[in-house]
Chain A
Amino acid sequence: AKKESLPPDPGEHRLQFSYAFWYCRQPRLRSYDQNLKMIGTFNTVEKFWSFYSHLVRPSELSGQIDFHLFKEGIRPMWEDEANRNGGRWVLRLRKGLASRCWENLILAILGEQFMVGEEICGAMLSVRSQEDSISVWNKTANDNATTIRIRDTLKRVLNLPPSTHMDYKMNSESLR
């Protein structure tokens, strides 16, 4: 991934971090890396909207596809150095909810609503035939205070009932 971002245009609202949008079609075929494509990078609110408004809404897609929003410089794979010791909260969604949840999640990430310092790596939306899922990835899987805070913020920004079930998966176990 490109490490340097262009300076923001005058009048634009800078984000705390630079991010990239990615997607991976047919994630189960060949290697994940080969199917992974970067859409583009941005570091201001205005550039985010300009990308986002041109992206197809997840609920309009059929077939298997993963969307990612990750900090620039981190590839959205378990193998990346920033993800290797990390993990992710996974929330399964019944069909029809993905677009709204995904939008609320990425707005919370870009707006720094998680308040966990540098811990957030990114987020992923997986569209599948029966159900969709979203996940929030962080750097340090064994940092309990951080993972709990991410879980609670996720429930708040998505307006989920407190009883909602979510799984935390360690990337090192997925790699094994």
Chain B
Amino acid sequence: GTRIIYERAFLMQLRNSPVAK
């Protein structure tokens, strides 16, 4: 299947999402 790949910058961006507090 397709591998779920995330770049560092994208992961950092999600750090401040409301769910991740």
Q: Which A positions have Cβ atoms within 8 angstroms of B?
A: 9, 11-16, 45-50, 53, 104, 107-108, 110-113, 157
| Shortest CB distance A123–B (Å) | 15
Bound: A112/B4 CA distance, A: 7
| Shortest CB distance B19–A (Å) | 4
Contact partner of B4 (CB less than 8 A), chosen from A9, A16, A46, A104, is: A16
Residues of A within 8 A of B4 (CB): 14-16, 112
| Shortest CB distance A27–B (Å) | 29
Beyond A13-B6, A14-B4, A112-B5, 18 additional pairs, beta carbon < 8 A: A15-B4, A15-B6, A16-B3, A45-B6, A45-B20, A46-B17, A46-B19, A48-B20, A49-B15, A49-B20, A50-B20, A53-B15, A53-B21, A107-B12, A110-B6, A111-B5, A111-B8, A112-B4
Q: Which B positions have Cβ atoms within 8 angstroms of A?
A: 3-8, 10-12, 14-15, 17, 19-21
Bound: A53/B7 CA distance, A: 19
Residues of B within 8 A of A11 (CB): 19
Residues of B within 8 A of A107 (CB): 8, 11-12
Bound: A9/B19 CA distance, A: 9
| Shortest CB distance B1–A (Å) | 10
| Shortest CB distance B16–A (Å) | 8
| 13 cross-chain CB contacts under 8 A | A16-B4, A45-B20, A46-B17, A46-B19, A49-B15, A50-B20, A107-B8, A108-B8, A110-B6, A111-B6, A112-B4, A112-B6, A113-B8
Contact partner of A46 (CB less than 8 A), chosen from B3, B7, B12, B20, is: B20
Residues of B within 8 A of A15 (CB): 4, 6
Bound: A49/B3 CA distance, A: 21
